[in-house]
Amino acid sequence: MPRKPIHTYIENEINRLSQRIIDKGPAADEVSYVQLGFHLALQRVMRGNPQPSDIGLLNTIEGTFKEMKILTPSMDILAYFNDNPEHPLPEA
């Protein structure tokens, strides 16, 4: 199965969600807005210009995933995306 870099996936999601919001106008659901916000936050982190809210969001996700044992205690989401911007995701 072909793989693509995470930045390509995030860019595609931003474009897809933006278009969904444009197409649906006021009827666009809250899920699309939240997903778009998350992907924009991740994109800013990867570009090295995160807002404080971006860092807070990713730290909250990281802490929750560590508590659930999805991530190990030594894993650092911010460092991961800063150090590995080409990390591949499975093709959708």
pLDDT tens-place string over residues 31-43:
999 999 999 999 9
Looking at residue 89, what is its pLDDT? Answer: 39
* C-alpha span between 21 and 44 (Å, rounded): 20
Q: How far apart are CA 74 and CA 33, in angstroms?
A: 31
Q: How far apart are CA 10 and CA 91, in angstroms?
A: 12
| pLDDT given for residue 4 in this prediction | 63
The encoded tokens of residue 18 equal: 């933006």
Query: The pTM is what?
Result: 0.78
pLDDT tens digits for range 41-88: 999 988 888 999 999 999 999 999 999 999 889 888 887 776 655 554
DSSP 8-state symbol, 58: H
Sorted by sequence, the CB contacts under 8 Å of residue 35 that are 6+ apart come out as 13, 17
Question: Residue 6 corresponds to which amino acid?
Answer: I
pLDDT confidence of residue 42:
92
